[in-house]
Structure 1
Amino acid sequence: MAVINYIMSLGASVMMPIIFLIFGIALGLGIGKSLKSGLSVGVGFVGLSVMTQLLADNLGPAVNSMVKIYHLHLHTLDIGWPAASTVAFGTEVGAIIIPLGLLINIIMLVTKTTKTLNIDLWNYWHFAFVGSIVSIATKSFWWGDFAAIVTFSVTLVGADRSQKKVEKFYGKDLEGISIPQAFCVTFIPFAWAINWIIERIPG
């Protein structure tokens, strides 16, 4: 835990490049390309932080003025996924979500509980975010990990179940490709329900 806390204390802009560097080397990408990829991720995080701060600094006063003029009762500024992803990767759960997710993915592939290999490492922040929220709410790192694992597993199953639909809609360009992002998979039950209703409307 001390190691995780130390890595996390470095910040997402330092922590994530290190993780990507290690995985790049482990996957045989080579030191040069791995280092370049890691640095690109780090620069991206710095850019996200700068843009988020600029938005908050510039939009904040405008929003506050609008609230006063129209007598609204708004207390929260939604700055979208950039801030959420930065926060997610900057937590204890976020520090281990990539190796943890890949491990769970491999186990599910070996046990044939999924056919999807999720290599979209950036969007692992979805799982880290859920795990981080649970970890903060329960004050338990392990419950946060459990929540992240459940979210990851359900997302893979959802990606499997929707793969044929994705392939049919997009054609050969996405043949054999699934969409294992938690944000996308959450819409699947609603899509199925709405399609079921529409298909049964007479005429």
Structure 2
Amino acid sequence: MIGARVFCITTALQRSSIFFFPKISTRPVYRLSPATRPVVAMSTTTSINQDELDSIFKQKRVVRSTLRKSLKAMDPSLRIQQDDAIQNTLLEAPWFKSCRRLCAYISCKSLNEVDTSKILSQILQHPDPNTVAQKKLYVPRVEDKNSNMCMLHISHMDDLIANSMNILEPAPVDAQGNKREDVMQADEPIDLFILPGLAFDRCGRRLGRGGG
């Protein structure tokens, strides 16, 4: 999987960021005030002690709280407009059209993630007419209470079921009762990863939701 392109989608600082490609800017970058912006002091030693780690985690919690409030207050019509623009940009990108194997997240409305339903539908329902081979899609499934995940292959939107959190994910077996292919057992490397995030900065550094 080394060398795969990564397209990261966020709903906060900048609603989409592409690594290794020109950035897509659909709204001004949201800047935190100096009081809440995470500033991590560099240690003079090669190791970070527990106090420094605690300080980093505390700053990240403050940033997450600020961003969640910003997302909650976002105008719904603007969110829909931006989601559509981001998905259209990705679908028209030459590197997306040329990829044959990819991993993508299934957006969750309650988490205010950028919608990926149009992307998934395009992959699964409309194979590329210029090639015989259809894109092979892997999506996440939570395996246990510790939120460990695997990425399983799906062929149709009907392969998805709602979990206990009402988030769509693939059933562990297909309609014929066969175990779904895990991306870690795939014969070919992945070309593209589409990942969610709470925020990204201009250098592409990602802030997740704190789930580990």
Structure 1-normalised TM-score? 0.24
Comparing both chains, which one has the higher relative contact order based on Cα–Cα distances under 8 Å and sequence gaps of 6 or more?
2
Q: Find the structure with the greater CA-based Rg.
A: 1
